[in-house]
């Protein structure tokens, strides 16, 4: 990214709580139009919490979440989604009482420009054969494909993925990397939470390292080379 495009999502001084216990302690980061950025960090660092805050799923929070000039912090999840943000949760969130088809068609279309079902099936041909089976009868990899495919139809411009490679075989991880690259090429802005640094390094324009509920380091793609050891230290236990 040579020219600086405009900031799409800006997180400023975000604090969040689960009941009495605090999970985010003043988090700051931003995503620009068309970028793919990652949040890296060890287990329990607060990555998922940050995403859940953006989606309005964590109520108790302070700070500003600005999406295209609009503060989302006080909005309900369904409103946030309709502003053009699509969310692919940790552990995939496939509905077991819905068929593959129903799962894929569940999120309502909120704007023009989303992918068609045919285009999605082209990205994930495996799903075609399983079209009518219950969502949770799929393998882990297939479920992840379904979870990714599910949010591409809606016309949302900002896609949020929470650890899409977790627990998957290397072949499938590679396939998902290809898909993410295609999505980026298509103009989607992507926020990716990852612990698999090698996977993230190849894809992302910028990286934010999260630790103890805040962003402690930020690197652009070019700065990675010198800082690998540092990042690994943050990710290691």
Partner 1 sequence: MAMMDLIGVPPALLFGQLLVGLINGSFYAMMSLGVAIIFGMLRIGNFVHGAQYMLGAFGAWYLMRLPELFPGLGLPSIGYWWALVIVPLVVAVIGALMERIFIRRVYDLDHAYGLLLTVGLAMAIEGAFNVYYGAAGQMYGVPDTLKGGINLGFMFLPIYRAWVIAVAIVVCFGTWYVVERTKLGSYLRAATENPDLVRAFGINVPRLLMLTYAFGVGLAGFAGVMAAPIYQVSPQMGQGIIITIFAVVVIGGMGSIFGAIVSGLMLGVIEGLTKVFYPQASSTVIFIIMALVLIFRPAGLFGKETTSHSVADVSSGRSGSFLENGRLWLAIFAIGGGLLPFVIYPVMGMKILVLALFALAYNLIFGYVGLLAFGHAAFYGASSYVTAHAAAAWGLPTELCILLGVSVATAIGVLFGWLAIRRQGLYFAMITLALAQIIYFYAVQAPWTHGEDGIQSVPRGTLFGLIDLSNTLNMYYVTLVVFLVGFAFVYRIIHSPFGQTLKSIRENEPRAISLGYSTDRFKLIAFTLSAMLSGVAGGLKAIIFQLASLADVFFMTSADVLLMTLIGGVGTLLGPVVGAAVLVTLQRELATLGAWVVVVQGAIFVLCVLFLRKGIVGTLEEFLSNRAERKAQKGVKTTEAVAKTEAAQ
16, β-bridge pairs: 24, 61
Using DSSP, state whether 196 is helix, strand or coil: coil
Q: What six digits make up the tokens of 54?
A: 């953006």
- Per-position x/- string for 44-83, each x denoting binding to partner 1 as judged by CB under 8 A, each - no binding: -----------xxx------------------xxx-xxx-
Where do runs of H (alpha helix) occur along 77-139? 77-82, 100-105, 117-123, 126-129
Instruction: Label the pairing between strands 158-162 and 85-88.
Output: parallel
Binding mask 171-190 for ligand ATP (x = CB under 6 A): --------------------
How many CB atoms lie under 10 A from the CB of residue 110?
A: 16
Q: Which of 110, 117, 121, 177 binds partner 1 (CB under 8 A)?
A: 110
In 83-196, alpha helices (H): 100-105, 117-123, 126-129, 140-150, 170-185
Asked whether position 161 contacts partner 1 by CB under 8 A, the answer is no
**Judged by CB under 6 A, which stretch of 43-51, 100-108, 114-122, 140-148 contacts ligand ATP?**
43-51
Nearest approach, Cβ of residue 47 and Mg ion (Å): 5
When asked if residue 104 is in the footprint of ligand ATP (CB under 6 A), the reply is: no
Does residue 105 belong to the site contacting partner 1 (CB under 8 A)? yes
Instruction: Report the nearest approach of ligand ATP to the CB of residue 170 (Å).
Output: 20
Q: Select from Mg ion, partner 1, ligand ATP, none the partner in contact with residue 34, using the beta carbon and a kind-dependent cut-off of 5 to 8 Å.
A: none
Tell me if 211 sits within 8 A of 221, measured CB to CB.
no
80 binds, among Mg ion, ligand ATP, partner 1, none (CB under 5 to 8 A by kind): partner 1
- Give the burial string for 125-142 (b: 16+ CB within 10 Å, else e): eebeebeeebbeebeebb
- Residue 23 binds: one of partner 1, ligand ATP, Mg ion, none (C-beta under 5 to 8 A by kind): ligand ATP
Site string for Mg ion, 65-94 (x = CB under 5 A): -------------------------x----
- Cβ burial 57-86 (10 Å sphere, 16+ → b, else e): ebeebebebbbbeeebbebeeeebbebbbb
Q: Does 181 bind partner 1 (CB under 8 A)?
A: no
Binding site for partner 1 (CB under 8 A): 55-57, 76-78, 80-82, 86-87, 89, 93, 95-98, 102, 105-108, 110, 151, 154
């Amino acid at each position: 990214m040579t020219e600086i495009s405009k900031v799409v999502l800006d997180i400023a001084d975000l604090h969040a709580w689960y009941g009495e216990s605090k999970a985010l302690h003043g988090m700051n980061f931003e995503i620009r139009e068309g970028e793919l950025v990652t949040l890296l960090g060890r287990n329990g660092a607060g990555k998922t919490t940050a995403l859940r805050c953006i989606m309005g799923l964590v109520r108790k929070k302070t700070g500003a979440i600005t999406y295209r000039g609009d503060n989302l912090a006080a909005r309900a999840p369904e409103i946030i989604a309709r502003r053009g943000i699509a969310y692919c949760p940790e552990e995939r969130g496939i509905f077991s009482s819905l068929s593959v088809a129903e799962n894929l068609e569940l999120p309502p279309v909120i704007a023009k420009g989303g992918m068609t079902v045919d285009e999605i099936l082209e990205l994930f041909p495996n799903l075609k054969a399983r079209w009518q089976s219950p969502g949770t009868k799929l393998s882990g990899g297939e479920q992840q494909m379904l979870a990714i495919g599910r949010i591409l139809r809606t016309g949302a411009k900002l896609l949020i993925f929470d650890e899409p490679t977790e627990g998957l075989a290397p072949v499938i991880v590679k396939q998902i990397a290809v898909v993410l690259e295609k999505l980026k090429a298509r103009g989607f802005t992507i926020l990716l939470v990852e612990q698999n640094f090698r996977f993230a390094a190849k894809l992302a324009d910028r990286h934010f390292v999260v630790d103890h509920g805040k962003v402690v380091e930020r690197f652009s793609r070019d700065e990675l080379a010198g800082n690998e050891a540092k990042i690994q230290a943050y990710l290691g236990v």
